[in-house]
Amino acid sequence: MTRLVSILLLALAYNHTFANPPLNEPISPIPEPVTNSPKQVQLGRLLFHDVRLSQNNQLSCASCHSLKHGGADGQVVSTGVNGSKGEINSPTIFNCSLNFRQFWDGRADNLLSQIDGPISNPIEMNSSWPEVLSKLKQDPFYIEQFQQAFKNGLTINNIKAAIVIFEESLLTPDSRFDLYLKNIPNALSAEELEGYSLFKQYGCISCHQGVAIGANLYQRFGIMGDYFADRGNITPSDLGRYRVTQNEKDKYVFKVPSLRNAALTAPYFHDGSTNTLEEAVAIMMRYQLGRIPNKQDINKIVLFIKSLTGQYNKSKL
Ligand code: HEC
Ligand code: HEC
């Protein structure tokens, strides 16, 4: 025992001497995903890409959350079964386990309760868990795989669990910005670093912070100006948290989105109204901070945001 302790202490001392200490910043690096059960992750990956989860066997989760497109779908609003149009922009699935609540309006507390939404939503997959189960039960491959991965084999709860475990594996560590936070020399260019300083100086960091650089609080969209009046054509999904709480002060309040991998997830905002990061940052300056957008600063902040693109399975997204 004492020997083990002294070996541990030695290892710690070694690390301490030779690795640079991490920087003390209001953002922390994304950790490596912890995968206790590769079989369950693999099963979740198959289910996430399986069109049998939708009523007409045309859509999988990945249709709207493509791992090849930053975990989103690149559309203003998503397209559901039979071409029905959704009412809100699809957020990225990468790092979704870091969200303090799920959905733009935070109506699901966690990934397990979130997952009932898309399955039954008539403008998404328009199905039900019993229907999904009965389809998957016709497939000997799934029966076999579930038996290997879960004690009680193919059940509704295990289908949900496998998808959630897969979602939890979708962390994107080792962006260049995270390497900078880990104090690796020259991880960022001088301009990207300036962008990060501006991000803090302007006060973006007061809302976009923590490990996900967002996704840990609710805020009104349009604090210093009326975004919705200026944009026009207000829809029910613009009401944000109000739809969950019916509380007047929650009108136009949304979960602050994570900025991780944002370079890959245009168009931006819950309404998908904005195609470029430059425009999105200008809108933030004007409506969240009451500042007159300044092109030079915007460009540097955008360079910083682009340095937030991380890695999935050891390759850059
Ligand atoms: C038809 C497109 C579509 C399909 C299919 C779909 N989603 Fe989504 N997903 C969306 C949209 C749009 C939202 C945002 C809805 C909202 O916030 O009201 C969303 C939100 C989410 C979120 C919350 C992310 C966040 O940042 O808040 C998760 C997690 C998620 N989906 C997982 C899934 C899983 C798992 C499946 C498959 C079972 C799935 N989605 C199928 C379009 C889709
Ligand atoms: C007062 C809080 C607040 C401040 C300050 C703030 N933001 Fe935001 N940001 C939000 C909210 C809320 C949203 C989501 C708005 C929506 O779509 O409804 C958002 C969305 C974004 C998006 C779009 C992300 C996506 O995936 O759609 C970007 C990019 C962004 N902010 C960057 C910035 C930058 C850069 C700054 C500083 C110039 C900043 N924000 C300042 C709250 C804030």
Average pLDDT over residues 8-33: 74
CA-proximal residue: ligand 1, atom 13 (nearest): 90
* pLDDT of the residue at 3: 60
* pLDDT of the residue at 82: 83
Burial 175-207 (b: 16+ CB within 10 A, else e): bbbbbbbbeeeebbeeebbbbbebbeebebbeb
Q: Is 287 in the pocket of ligand 2 (CB under 6 A)?
A: no
- CA distance to 71, 181, 201, per residue, from 177 (Å): 19, 6, 17
Which residues fall within 8 angstroms of residue 95, CB to CB, at 6 or more apart? 30, 170, 171, 172, 212, 215, 258, 260, 261
Residues lining ligand 1, judged by CB closer than 6 Å?
53, 59, 61, 63-65, 78, 80, 86, 88, 90-91, 93, 96, 99, 102-104, 111, 114-115, 118-119, 124-125, 163
Average pLDDT over residues 60-69: 97
Under a CB-based contact definition with an 8 Å cutoff, are residues 106 and 255 in contact? yes
Q: Is 88 in the pocket of ligand 2 (CB under 6 A)?
A: no
| Statement: residue 8 has pLDDT above 50 | yes
* pLDDT of the residue at 22: 87
| Statement: residue 11 has pLDDT above 80 | no
Instruction: Provide the CB-side half-sphere exposure for 168 (13 A, CA).
Output: 16
Return the amino acid letter for 7: I
Average pLDDT over residues 265-290: 98
| Statement: residue 232 has pLDDT above 90 | yes
The residue behind tokens 């898309």 is 118
- CA distance to 4, 7, 177, 220, 251, per residue, from 10 (Å): 10, 5, 30, 50, 55
| Statement: residue 17 has pLDDT above 50 | no
| Statement: residue 210 has pLDDT above 60 | yes
Average pLDDT over residues 87-106: 98
* pLDDT of the residue at 57: 96
